[in-house]
């Protein structure tokens, strides 16, 4: 390991991080935004230069607007604002996603782009702004999925919708602070700092797109919700958003610096680089992106299940000075109204792909649970409790219910309780659970992880939606998207299509069950909640 950071290097690091928190505002001296529409498309001005989008279905759509400079030459460093350009940049097609394996890959290190949908340009409309942060954990995904198209939300609620790409996996969350120098001190949270830069772009430019920079709602599913929870505890993100809506995505605790450094050492060893070598980071920077991506598949030995190396936010003491929602909710975000939601059958999305999980017997169930429930309680005791609570459940139904409660739902409960206990001028928090299940595939996946995305976007007919396009799916999309729009406009998700949605409290644990029809329930699955809370909750990747 290298020698401890000296005071002079520490000073350099603090100055670097202060520059990042200030927005690295290289583009803030450009002229104010304006907009025109002509036969060739629709043109708007950002502080870095003009962009040309398209007019589609009565909405102005800009795809692939650059909000940050190419990160290729600044690998593992905080993002930089883009250089100003002359002429009109094309923003009619989605830009590159972050480097990653899977369907959105291989991507590019030049990935700091966002997309904007708006009903009108530079008309002084002061519309609520909704910024969607994509899921895929911290490893995969982009803001360009058809399910995230903002057209219907724009038309439905007279709002501006923004989706974002940012650095992921090793490029965005590899903690090199104890291995390299001051310029990589923030590398474990570089992907989060990209999101901060994107929100600063919204603050500085969105008025020209008809939006109100003083009324920004962030919403996100799975990893997107976790990134939002993390932003709520980051000083650099303070004041950049004003409401939050998270779906099946929580970040209660972050990776500690020791654990994150150990993962970085394992990662470097996988690439044949000695972490103690003085040129370790330089050698890493010189590698092709494809080699770095391949090394992300090394097994994470801290996790029970056989899975690849964890990447996620790091409590580094500066960019992220505390755990996001432990031991309490972040005080800096106490005044932000928040919705925290989950789906009733989360794990059917990823564990339902194995047909064996639908044919389990009681004898094999405990061993199968052992690697998937995450919370460390004897699996045979879990089975016994679920058989007591739900005597009609089959072994497979116990498996899906217990894994959902023991890994996905538990984090939502932790965040809800932390917000409910928050003292001072705390804003309300509303809880929901999606109970309505998809009718596709014979209904076997029920209310699975990601099912609420097309419902909240009112995009049930978009490619990738698994809701079907029946009357029930549309009725639920109406209710959920209107709740998001109400939160964005008023700071309260209630609207005429819902029963009175009361904020979550420790006394009653009020939760809106999104179904047809929706209903408010006190402490749904309370017996399950109490059972799992016999063990402390630690977010995956923390240790």
Q: Which positions are annotated as active-site residues?
A: 222, 346, 449
Question: Do 292 and 271 contact (CB within 8 A), yes or no?
Answer: yes
Most distant CA pair in the chain, distance: 69
Give the burial string for 315-324 (b: 16+ CB within 10 Å, else e). Answer: bbebbbebbb
Q: What is d(CA 377, CA 362) in angstroms, rounded to the nearest whole number? A: 18
Q: DSSP secondary structure string, 266-330?
A: HHHHHTT--TTSTTHHHHHHHS-HHHHHHHTTSB-TTSSS--BPP---B--SSSS-S-SSSSS--
Strand 88-90 relative to strand 59-66: parallel, antiparallel, unpaired?
unpaired
Tokens of 14: 């603090």
User: Phi, psi at residue 138, to the nearest 5°?
Assistant: -110, 20
Q: Is the peptide bond before 517 cis (omega within 30 degrees of 0)?
A: yes
CB neighbours of residue 305 within 10 Å: 11
Closest by CA position to 193, among listed 331, 16, 340, 327 = 16
Q: What is d(CA 374, CA 303) in angstroms, rounded to the nearest whole number? A: 9
Distance set, CA 540 to CA 204, 301, 328 (Å): 35, 12, 18
Q: What does DSSP assign to residue 92?
A: B
**CA atoms 118, 122, 127, 130: torsion sign:** positive
Q: What does DSSP assign to residue 404?
A: I
User: Phi, psi at residue 50, to the nearest 5°?
Assistant: -80, 150
Question: Do 315 and 420 contact (CB within 8 A), yes or no?
Answer: no
* Helices 223-231 and 190-205, packing angle to 10 deg: 80
CB neighbours of residue 74 within 10 Å: 16
Closest by CA position to 193, among listed 20, 1, 447, 380 = 20
Tokens of 239: 């004041």
Q: Tell me the three state secondary structure of residue 412.
A: helix
Question: Do 271 and 366 contact (CB within 8 A), yes or no?
Answer: no
């Amino acid at each position: 390991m290298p020698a401890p950071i000296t005071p002079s290097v520490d000073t350099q690091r603090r100055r670097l991080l202060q520059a990042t928190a200030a927005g690295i505002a290289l583009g803030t001296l450009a002229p104010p935004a304006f907009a025109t529409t002509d036969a060739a498309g629709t043109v708007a001005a950002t502080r870095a230069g003009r962009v040309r989008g398209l007019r589609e279905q009565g909405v102005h759509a800009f795809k692939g607007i650059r909000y940050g400079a190419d990160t290729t030459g600044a690998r593992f460093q905080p993002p930089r604002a883009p250089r100003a350009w002359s002429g009109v940049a094309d923003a009619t097609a989605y830009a590159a996603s972050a480097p990653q394996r899977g369907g959105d890959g291989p991507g590019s290190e030049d990935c700091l782009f966002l997309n904007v949908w708006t009903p009108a340009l530079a008309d002084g409309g002061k519309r609520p702004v909704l910024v969607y942060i994509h899921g895929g954990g911290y490893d995969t995904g982009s803001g360009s999925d058809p399910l995230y198209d903002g057209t219907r939300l724009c038309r439905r609620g007279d709002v501006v919708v923004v989706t974002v790409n940012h650095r992921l996996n090793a490029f965005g969350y590899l903690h090199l602070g104890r291995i390299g120098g001051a310029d990589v001190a923030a590398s474990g949270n570089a992907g989060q700092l990209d999101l901060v830069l994107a929100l600063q772009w919204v603050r500085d430019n969105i008025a020209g797109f008809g939006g109100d920079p003083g009324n920004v709602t962030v919403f996100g599913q799975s990893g997107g919700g976790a990134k939002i929870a993390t932003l709520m505890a980051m000083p650099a993100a303070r004041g950049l958003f004003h409401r939050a809506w998270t779906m099946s995505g929580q970040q209660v605790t972050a990776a500690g610096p020791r654990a994150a450094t150990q993962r970085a050492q394992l990662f470097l060893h996988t690439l044949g680089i000695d972490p103690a070598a003085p040129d370790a980071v330089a050698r890493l920077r010189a590698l092709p992106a494809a080699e770095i991506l391949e090394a992300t598949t090394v097994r994470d030995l801290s996790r029970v299940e056989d899975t690849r190396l964890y990447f996620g936010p790091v409590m580094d003491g500066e960019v992220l000075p505390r755990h996001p929602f432990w031991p309490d909710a972040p005080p800096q975000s106490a005044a932000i109204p928040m919705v925290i939601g989950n789906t009733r059958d989360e794990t059917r999305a990823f564990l339902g792909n194995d047909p064996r999980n639908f044919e389990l017997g009681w004898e094999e169930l405990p061993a199968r649970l052992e690697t998937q429930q995450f919370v460390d309680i004897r699996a045979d005791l879990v089975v016994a409790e679920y058989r007591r609570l739900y005597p009609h459940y089959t072994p497979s139904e116990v498996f899906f219910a217990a894994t959902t409660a023991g890994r996905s739902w538990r984090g939502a409960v932790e965040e809800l309780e932390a917000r409910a206990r928050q003292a001072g001028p705390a804003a309300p928090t509303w809880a929901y659970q999606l109970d309505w299940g998809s009718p596709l595939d014979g209904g076997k996946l029920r209310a699975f992880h990601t099912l609420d995305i097309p419902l909240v976007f009112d995009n049930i007919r978009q490619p990738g939606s698994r809701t079907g396009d029946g009357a029930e799916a549309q009725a639920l999309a109406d209710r959920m998207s209107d709740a998001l729009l109400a939160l964005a406009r008023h700071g309260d998700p209630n609207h005429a299509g819902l029963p009175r949605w009361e904020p979550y409290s420790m006394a009653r644990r009020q939760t809106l069950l999104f179904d047809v029809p929706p209903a408010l329930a006190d402490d749904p699955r309370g017996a399950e909640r109490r059972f799992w809370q016999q063990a402390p909750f630690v977010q995956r990747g923390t240790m």
